[in-house]
Amino acid sequence: MSDEPAGPGQAPGAGDEPAGAGRASGAGDEPAGAGRASGAGDEPVASIVIPTRNRPRYLEMTLATVAPQARVAGAELLVVDDGDCAESAAVARSHGARVVATAPPGGANAARNAGAREARSDLIVLIDDDVRAPVQWLPALLAGVRSVPDHDVFGGPIRAVLEGGGPRSCGRERAPITTLDLGCADRDADLVWSANMAIRRRALRAVGPFDESIAVRGDEEDWERRYVAAGGRIRYVAAAGLEHYRTASDARLRCLARAAFTQGRAARRYDVRKRMAPSLPAELRVLAGCVWHIFRRRCAQGVVLTAHAAGRLREALAGGVRAGARREASGGRGAGAGAGRGAGAGRGADR
């Protein structure tokens, strides 16, 4: 499940999935990472968890490249179906994957938590349902994990592949879908992305589950920042790269721009949550710069940048309206409680 809304037929994306407290059907009350599902046989070398929502064609592509590597390495495959899609479940089983259903659907983080609960290995590998794995991806990732036993979180490169090339670009901006490139050598990193990420179970036990109230943007970042704040270290494994894929229909400018608008709104919400949101004038300046970029560089991909900036501005305006409504409601309750009781009114306004 990508964090990006674009998909056949997300980000993020199956990415417009709502946040929620989804859980695997039949799963216990243990938090993600606190234990593991029982199962016969030896413990797998890794549990590869793939959240998905109603994207069977992408899932088929992903499993076709991941399942053979899992069989050779002795890893288990878990597909977390966050959309109750019979076709996705059938695709997963055809590749030997175990299917975990969330009930009700709860979004990407709920699906990751459900997969972690059901995983039988101490190493949980998270990937999206729209990636392709080169033949050495899993061996390289496992070797990278073994090489640094004092690290508990790992990630690798994510390269964008847009079928048909995608919108015309002037070459000055990043690809319009999630990517990661920290160089050709292994190194410590501030963040990696859940499209290509591995976590030792002890880190989940120490930090707790992914926050299911965060959707589309900031979902894995929030967990990683908690992990680092607790003294954890993240390792970038340069040889363990994946391809983040978009079909020709999903690589059209209209689809990418629509996804970018949704992501922009979510990114603004996450910035507000972190108390790092830019001012409204700053958001306006970014939007104006993106519009200028389209015409100055004759860059079609600037439309995607503009959509993202417009989403941020739309959320900033909506947030201002919501804040004003809360202040008005709090003021009304304070007045009704009785004049002169400033402390009571103040507590009401602070809630």
Higher pLDDT, 330 or 7: 330
Q: What is the pLDDT of residues 260-302, one digit of tens each?
A: 899 899 889 989 988 999 999 999 999 999 999 888 888 888 9
Give the whole-angstrom CA distance, residue 113 versus residue 19. 13
The identity of residue 250, as a single letter, is D
Per the CB < 8 A criterion, the answer to whether 114 and 23 are in contact is yes
Contact 37, 113 (CB under 8 A): no
Cβ neighbour number for residue 240 with a 10 Å cutoff: 26
Backbone CA torsion sign across 329, 333, 335, 336 = positive
pLDDT-based confidence at residue 351 (cuts at 50, 70, 90): very low
Q: What dotted CATH number matches 47-246?
A: 3.90.550.10
Look at residues 253, 264, 339, 343 and name the one whose alpha carbon lies nearest to residue 303.
253
Q: Quick one: 171 exposed, middle or buried, by C-beta within 10 A (0-12, 13-18, 19+)? A: exposed
Q: Which residue has the tokens 């056949």?
A: 8
Tell me the pTM.
0.78
DSSP 98: E
Residue-wise pLDDT for 301-315, tens only, equals 899 999 999 999 999
The two structure tokens encoding residue 26? 């039949």
Give the closest residue to 274 by CA, choosing from 319, 221, 323.
Answer: 221
Read off the pLDDT band of 345 (50, 70, 90). Answer: very low
| Token representation of residue 100 | 């975990």
